Structures are given as C-alpha cells and as structure tokens.
Amino acid sequence: MERTELPIAVFDSGLGGISVLRALVQCLPGEDFLYFGDSANAPYGVRPAEEVRRLTQDVIGRLYDRGIKAAVIACNTATSAAIGPLRAAFPDIPVIEPALKPAVAHHRRVLVLATPLTLREEKFAALMQQCAGCAEITPLPCPELVEFVERGELDSPALTAYLARQLGPYAGRVDAAVLGCTHFPFARRAIRAALGGAAALYDGSDGTARETLRQVVRRGCVRGGSRGIVTLENSRTSELPLSRRLLALPRED
C-alpha cells in the first residue's frame, strides 16, 4: 500500500485519547485513523515511569510494524514518561502536552489537572518553568477521574461528589483550568460545574491535531479524497462499545 494511504495511529492508555481522536477527525477528515487504547493496563498515571515507558514503546512498536504513516501519542502521561526514547526511534512523532501556554496567555490563576505521573515528570516541570512568570499555576493530581471516565461515568452522582471534593476549594479562586489528561475533556461539564462555572477550560486536543496535520503535510503524505475510516481497538475488547459511544459524543467548548 502507498504510504499516503496508510492510517495514522492514535495511542492512549485507555479511552481518553478518543477526545483527541475527535479533534483529529475534524482537522484531517480525509485520513484513516487506527485508535489503540490500552485499557487493560490503565490507569498509567499511577504506575512507575519505567513501566509506562515500556508499555508505550511496546504498543507504538507494534503499531509501526502493522503499517502506519504516523503515530500520535494522545496521552499526556505516556508522553511524559516515554517521549525521549520514542523520539529516538520515531523522530517526528506528534505528542500531546497540557495546554498550559494558551491558558497562561489569557489568565492569571491557572489550575492544572493531570495524572500524578504527568505532574511529577521533568517534561511538566520544564513547561511549568516556562509559564511560571506569566501566571500563578497550581498543579492538582486527579487520578480517580481517569477511572470514572474508563467506566463511562461522565455525570454520575459519585463523579459530582468526587469533583466537588477535589475542585470545590478552587471554585471562584482560579480563572482557568487546564485539562492535562486526555480523559478529562469527557467530564468537561461536571468539571466546569464543580469550579463554579466561571473558569475557562483548556485541553491539548486541537493543538495536537494541528501539529499532526503540519507533520503529515511536511512529509507529503496527506490522504486526499473522501472521508477516512476510523478503526477503534482496545487491549480490553469489552471497552469497544464505550469507545464508540465516546467517539460519537459532540465536542463541547
């Protein structure tokens, strides 16, 4: 098969990367996408970095062996832990990062919600340092939120209670929140409500989609023509119905 015709792989620790896949489909409608979620091993964000690095490298290696023209690491946690060795093996790999720069460009008090692993890795420390002069930044690990989304609980009373406990203390005290984990945009409405409705929410999916488009254009392998095909795969096959449901959800502001 010609390179142009090959799919773009999208990888996440589980279902969260489907929030990025929706942006990719919107930005590159002619492309075929092969989404792989590793729900059997999720959550990644509470594992040691070395383990996340190994899991990520294994999946990306297998995806390249199947024939893909690019792989998008649509997982902040996997990116934080594995980007060094991945870049060495696959130079142009598009990665996601917490959308901290656009948030601090417009707001003074910024809350960053992400997994514990993302927040303790060097990549985030460097990003924080770049942005620290522009705003007051508060990182907040929310590992349980990943599990709510993996269960498909996007607006349950238990989720509302959890977010009230986690985010209630920041309601009215922050101007913006960065959703620094791909799972979190699926709980956008509940997060906004817990923060009191006034905080602006930022996530990295559109930025990642634009970067993917730039790379596919730069390599001269844009697939023209009609609408592409999206294939959903998961290391836990019982997650496929929920994966389809999340992909079909409308994108919210």
Binding-site ranges for ligand DGL (CB under 6 A)? 12-14, 16, 42-45, 75-77, 115, 118, 146, 181-183
Smallest gap from residue 118 Cβ to ligand DGL (A): 5
Task: Assess whether 181 carries a catalytic annotation.
Answer: yes
Cβ proximity to ligand DGL, 34 vs 118, nearer residue: 118
Cβ proximity to ligand DGL, 182 vs 243, nearer residue: 182
Backbone angles phi, psi at 68, to 5 degrees: -135, 155
Q: Which residue's C-beta sits nearest to ligand DGL?
A: 45
Q: Which of 75, 134, 142, 221 is catalytic?
A: 75
Smallest gap from residue 238 Cβ to ligand DGL (A): 17
Smallest gap from residue 92 Cβ to ligand DGL (A): 20
Q: Which of 27, 131, 142, 181 is catalytic?
A: 181
Length of the chain equals 253
Task: Assess whether 131 carries a catalytic annotation.
Answer: no
Q: Going edge to edge, which strands form the sheet with 136-141?
A: 136-141, 109-114, 176-179, 200-203
- Closest by CA to 111, choosing from 41, 43, 198, is 198
Cβ proximity to ligand DGL, 6 vs 82, nearer residue: 82
Cβ proximity to ligand DGL, 75 vs 104, nearer residue: 75
Radius of gyration of the chain from its Cα atoms, rounded to whole angstroms? 17
Smallest gap from residue 225 Cβ to ligand DGL (A): 31
Residue 202: CB atoms within 10 Å: 25
211/99 Cα distance (integer angstroms): 13
Q: What b/e string do you get for 20-48 counting C-beta neighbours within 10 Å, with b at 16 or more? A: bbbbbbebbeebbbbbbbbbebbbbbbbe
Active-site residue list: 75, 181
